Structure 1
Amino acid sequence: MNATGRHADPIQDHIAALAAALRGPGKAKAQMVQDMRDGLVDTAEALAGDEVSYERAARQAVREFGTLDELVPSCQQELTVRQARHTARAVALTAPFLITCWYLARSAGHEGTWRLPLAAQLLAVHLAGVAIVAALLAAGTLAATGAAARRVPTPRRLPLVVAWAGTTASAAMAVAALALATAAAMVTNWPLLACAGGLAAVSHAAIAGSARLCRQCARLS
C-alpha cells in the first residue's frame, strides 16, 4: 500500500519512473510512454484471471517488460534522434531568415543611402557564415536521421553536434535581434527593421530551447 492506504499500481509506478528518466520532444515522449503503458495493461489483463489477481498480473507484466536499466538506453536513444531532428528542422527554417535580416540591416535607410559601419558589416558576414554552416549541417542531419537511417546507423555524436550548432545559431539570432533593434533607431523605415528584429528574437528563443533539450538528450544517450 502507498501513503494513502491504497494498493500501489505496479504499472503506473514503472511507467512514471520511466517517464522521469527520459528526455526528449514532448509529444514523442508522451506517445512512447503511453504506448508502453497500454502494452503493460494489455499484458496484465491477459495474465489476470480467477486465480491471479490483477495486481499480481501487473507485477508479472512489469517484470517481463524489463527494468529501467534495460529500457531507458534504447528509449532515450530514439528520443535523442527525434530531438536532434527537431532542432535541425528549427535551424534549417530560421538560418536563412538570419541572412535575410542582415541584408535588410545592410540595405536599410532613406533611398538606400544608409549602410552599416565597416565593423558591423564584418560582423554581418561572420554571422551569415554561421547561418550557412548551421543550415547545411541541419539539412545533413535531417537526411541522415530520415529514410537513410534505415540503411546507415545515425552517428553517435551527431545529436551533440546538432545541439551545439543550434546553440551557436540561437546566439547569432540574439546578436541579429540586438543589431536590428539598434539599426531601427537610425533609419527612416524603422518599422521593417523593428519587425525583423522581433522575429529574430522569437527565432532565438525557439532554437535556444530546442538546442538546450538536445544537449540534455545527447548527454543521457
Structure 2
Amino acid sequence: MNTAGGRADPVEEYAATLAGALYGPARDKARLVEEVRDGLAETVTAYADEGMPRDEAARQAVLEFGSPAEIAPSCQRELAVAQARHTARAVGLAAPFLIACWYLLWSANPGQDWLLPRAAQQLAVHLAGVAGAAALLAAAMTAATGTLARRIPTPHRLPLAVAWAGTTASVAMAVAALALTVAALLATNWPLIALAGSLAAVSHAVVAASARACRQCARSTA
C-alpha cells in the first residue's frame, strides 16, 4: 500500500517488518500483526483528525508505538505460548495412538516363538510408559498455558519443555510405526497392525512438525 505521494505507507511497512520478525502459528501471528496494524491505523486517524498531514501522522504514530524490534519480543512470547498449546494438543492426541500401539505390539503373535514378538512386547511396555507420560504432560501443558495462565504467569521455559516432550512423543511414534510395520509381516492380524502402523507414522509427522515449530519459537524468545 502506498501513500498519495507514491511512498510506502509507514503503517504497512511496520506491519510487514513485524510479521517478518515473528515465528509461530500462522493464525495467531496474523491476528497479532492485525491488532498492531489496527492500533497504528487508529492513532494515525486520530492525528489526521487533529489536522496533521497523513504522512506525518503515520510517522508520528509509528514513532510513539515503538519500533518492530522493540515490540517483537513480547509478541514472540505470546506466539511461543500459542505454539506450545498446539504442540501439547498434538501430544495429547498422540497418546491414544501410543496406547493402541502398545496393545497391538503386546498381542502380536505370528504363530511361532520368534524373537520379534518377545522384543515387540518389551517395546510395548516402554511405549505404554511414554503414552502415560505424554498424556499427563499434555494435560499439564494445556492447563499451564490455558486456565492457569489467567492466574499465574506462564513459565518462561515452558514452550521449550513442551517442544522436547513433543519430540520425545514423535520419536516414540516413529519407533512404533517401524515396529508395527515389521510385526504386520509376521502377525496373522496384519491388516489391523498395518493400519495402526500407518496411523503411527502420520501421528509422528504431525507431532514432529509441531515440536519443531515449538523449538523454533522457544529459541526466538531466548
Given the two structures, how large is their TM-score scaled by the length of structure 1? Answer: 0.90
- Aligned ranges 1:41-60 → 2 under 5 Å: 41-49=41-49, 51-60=51-60
Q: Conserved in 2, the CA contact under 8 Å of 1:170 and 1:204?
A: yes
CA positional deviation for 1:195: 1.0
Aligned counterpart, 1:202: 202
Which amino acid counterpart does residue 58 of structure 1 have in structure 2?
A: A
- The Cα offsets for residues 3-28 of structure 1, whole Å up to 9 and x where unpaired, read as xx931111111111111111111111
Q: Conserved in 2, the CA contact under 8 Å of 1:184 and 1:190?
A: yes
- The Cα offsets for residues 38-85 of structure 1, whole Å up to 9 and x where unpaired, read as 221122122125843222211111111111232011111111111111
Given the two structures, how large is their TM-score scaled by the length of structure 2? Answer: 0.90
Aligned counterpart, 1:17: 17
Secondary structure at the counterpart of residue 156 of structure 2: coil
Aligned counterpart, 2:38: 38
State the alpha-carbon separation in 1 of the partners of residues 37 and 131 from structure 2.
42
CA positional deviation for 1:29: 0.7
- Is there any run of 5+ residues in structure 1 with no aligned partner, and where? none
Q: Conserved in 2, the CA contact under 8 Å of 1:105 and 1:116?
A: no
- Is there any run of 5+ residues in structure 2 with no aligned partner, and where? none
Q: Aligned pair count?
A: 217
1:168 paired to 2:168: yes
Secondary structure at the counterpart of residue 17 of structure 2: helix
- The Cα offsets for residues 154-194 of structure 1, whole Å up to 9 and x where unpaired, read as 11111111100100100110111111111111122221111
Aligned counterpart, 2:8: 8
State the alpha-carbon separation in 1 of the partners of residues 63 and 82 from structure 2.
28
Q: Conserved in 2, the CA contact under 8 Å of 1:106 and 1:116?
A: no
- The Cα offsets for residues 131-166 of structure 1, whole Å up to 9 and x where unpaired, read as 221221111111111111122111111111110010
Secondary structure at the counterpart of residue 165 of structure 2: helix
Structure 1 runs of 4+ with >3 Å offset: 108-111, 113-116
CA positional deviation for 1:115: 9.4
State the alpha-carbon separation in 2 of the partners of residues 6 and 184 from structure 1.
66
- The Cα offsets for residues 79-104 of structure 1, whole Å up to 9 and x where unpaired, read as 11111111011101111211211211
